[in-house]
């Protein structure tokens, strides 16, 4: 898929959010761990919200988007990718989700650097900023629930 227009980018982002939504929803249904199920359900709800936001997005909303400086704990950068499996532990779920958000952020920032169109640049930066927010939330959970309990 080529990402040359605002519509191309929105379509790609919608497909990605929908795939993540379905993955997290399926993981929640299959999880026997109540804490893991809750995290997967929350992640699915977030992705559903992103999809709704993207469906209602127009050029005016992109131009008025307010960027929020998102702290980066840098935890995911030190962790190894994990493949999804039905019996993931809470820690593995957080790692899996963090790595997904890290990859999405990197993708949008790299795509932003490939265009000279200011409108497309802003959209890519906006999508990256949203992914950074999720990564920060997941890293905060990891720090609070995993690193402090080790």
Does 35 score more than 80 pLDDT? no
The phi, psi pair for 64, rounded to 5°, reads -105, 5
Q: What is the pLDDT of residue 127?
A: 84
Please tell me what DSSP assigns to residue 64. Answer: T
pTM of the model: 0.77
Burial class from Cβ neighbours inside 10 Å (0-12, 13-18, 19+) for residue 78 reads exposed
What is the CATH code of the structural domain delimited by 6-149? 1.20.1260.10
d(CA 33, CA 132): 27
**92-106 confidence digits (pLDDT tens):** 888 988 998 898 888
The residues spanned by each domain of the chain are 6-149
3-class state of residue 58 by DSSP: coil
CA 93 vs CA 27, 30, 63, 139: distances in Å? 10, 13, 35, 12
Q: What is the pLDDT of residue 78?
A: 92
């Amino acid at each position: 898929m080529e990402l040359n227009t605002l519509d191309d980018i929105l379509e790609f982002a919608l497909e990605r959010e929908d795939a993540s939504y379905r993955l997290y929803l399926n993981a929640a249904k299959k999880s026997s761990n109540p804490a893991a199920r809750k995290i997967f359900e929350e992640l699915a709800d977030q992705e559903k919200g992103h999809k709704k936001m993207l469906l209602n997005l127009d050029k005016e909303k992109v131009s008025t988007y307010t960027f929020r400086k998102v702290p980066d704990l840098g935890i995911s950068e030190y962790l190894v990718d994990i493949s999804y499996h039905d019996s993931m532990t809470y820690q593995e779920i957080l790692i899996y989700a963090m790595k997904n958000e890290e990859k999405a952020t990197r993708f949008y920032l790299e795509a932003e650097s490939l265009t000279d169109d200011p409108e497309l640049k802003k959209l890519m930066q906006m999508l990256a900023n949203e992914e950074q927010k999720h990564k920060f939330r997941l890293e905060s959970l990891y720090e609070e629930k995993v690193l402090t309990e080790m």
